[in-house]
Each structure stands twice: as C-alpha cells, then as structure tokens.
Amino acid sequence: MSEAGETSGFDIHKILKALPHRYPLLLVDRVKSIELGERIHAIKAVTMNEQFFQGHFPGAPIMPGVLQIEAMAQAAAILGIETLELAGTGKLVFFMGIDNAKFRAPVTPGCLLDLEVEFLQKRSRVYKFKGRASVEGKTTSECEFTAMIADPPAS
C-alpha cells in the first residue's frame, strides 16, 4: 500500500481510469479529497436526468437508498484502487456484505450528494468500510460494507 497522504480531488477522467462503471451506473462525479489508506470524500450530482427517476417515483422523484449505498461503494472502490495503485490493472472491487444500513432522508433532483467513506479494516484482499451520504450536512444514508479486490471474471 502507498503511504497515507492527503491528495486533492480529481475529476471524472481520473475516476473513469479507476472504476469500470459507466453510464448509467457510474455514481461518482468528482472526488473532493482522498487520503490514501484512510478516507475519501466524493460527490454525486443528482439530476432529474437520472434514469431511475422515471420510475422512482413519477411525480415525487427520490433517489433509491440502494443507489446511495452503491455510490458510497464506488467511492470506496476508488479509495481502494488508488491506495493500492491498481488503476489500469483491470482489478475489480466486489461487494461482499452490507451491514447496519440506515436511510435517514430523501435525496431529490438538484442535490449534491456528499459521499464520505473510510477504511475500518484491511486484510490482504478483503476490506471493510464505513460510509455516509449527506446533502448539505444532513445524513441521507449510512452503512458499513465489506468488499474484495479481485480479477475480473474470465470471459
């Protein structure tokens, strides 16, 4: 692992190098700050153009809580990939478990969703994280989750 050190954020181009996700499932738009080996603060700009708002819910659009957790997981994946210097290697970060998920407030179009994730535990290829999503300082969801670094499935 790299030594812990705070790095200023980075844009969508660097995010695309770290993550395999693409539209419509890429849920991180910007990284505000990253402290390698420790934590990340990323942003998801929530717009009315999101596909999920067509059905969740017409006339009262709310971002699904599971997608808030996915956004936190993608931020965690960036943290892990950058910490381990794996960008461009094809390695993937797979969910293994979600614990203590809580949904506190709705997320609606026009919000900037702050994604704050930190390492809780690190073991060879398996990592545990704590995540919090918020809008203007108000928690919208939070959880702990476990993920592993792996090679992509054989094709």
Q: Which residues are catalytic?
A: 56
88 dihedral zone (left: phi>0; alpha: psi -120 to 50; beta): left
Sheet-wide strand order for 30-35: 6-10, 30-35, 39-45, 112-123, 126-135, 138-150, 92-103
Helix-, strand-, coil-residue percentages of the chain, each rounded to 5: 20, 40, 40
